[in-house]
Structure 1
Amino acid sequence: MGENKHIEELDAFAKKYVQEVEQDIPSLDFTSNVMNTIIETKSSEVFKATPLISKKVWFLLFSILTVCIIYVSKGKSILETWTISNKFKFKPKLDFEFPNLFQSISVSNTMLMACFFFTLLIFIQFYFFKTRFEKDIDS
């Protein structure tokens, strides 16, 4: 019961002050002023396109892909020559051995070429979409 009285008081209060508020009447050229403002602002000021994947992440992904391709195609021998431990003759002793997970994996040249061209086509597609959407935003 007390809640209904409180709601009725709020309703009466709102009605009283809504009736007292003056109505704003826009000027005669309001629409043209708004349209001129919209036309004057450039789309680059309103919307700044930012890439979903930054350049650092692309570089990291490309590096990982390159290392994986080199590892699979050349095997461990080329990676062992690049390590710092061989250069400085530093070989720490480990009490445990890592299993050779990739020892039995062999990838054919056809598969490597297919992965390479697939990745190349993805990059071309990204470039195509980027330029197309930038043209749409600018115009």
Structure 2
Amino acid sequence: MGENKHIEELDIFAKKYIKEIKEESPSTDFTANIMNAILETKKADIYKATPLISKKVWFLLSAVLVTSILYVSRGTSLGWVKMPKVNLNFTDAIQLPKLFEGITISNTILYTCFLFTLMIFVQIYFLKGYFTRKINM
């Protein structure tokens, strides 16, 4: 019973104290202050984009790709690389009426495909930089 009286006294005191407190309202430039605080934290580079594949690995992959394309285009083969023989006799059952027999690909088409692919990668690189700068602004 004594505990309830103590709780009631605290409740009455809290109600009286809350009635005496003036209600505060935000200043007129509250929104501007919040926006400035957000912009300052954004400038502190909270978001830092890190690529999944580093530039060194991309350079290594592109060097291997270019080297292999150049090596294969010379028509030579590696003697020390032993590829396992694969039995593809089941493909004889597929009867395609000489569909790809007369198709030849010129060097101009190969160079065009290579340059087109290269330009796509260049555009991806520049667009990534553009959007990263836009996010960090």
The normalised TM-score by structure 2 is 0.50
Which of structures 1 and 2 has the larger relative contact order (alpha carbons within 8 angstroms, sep 6+)? Answer: 2
Report the structure number with the largest CA radius of gyration.
2
The normalised TM-score by structure 1 is 0.49
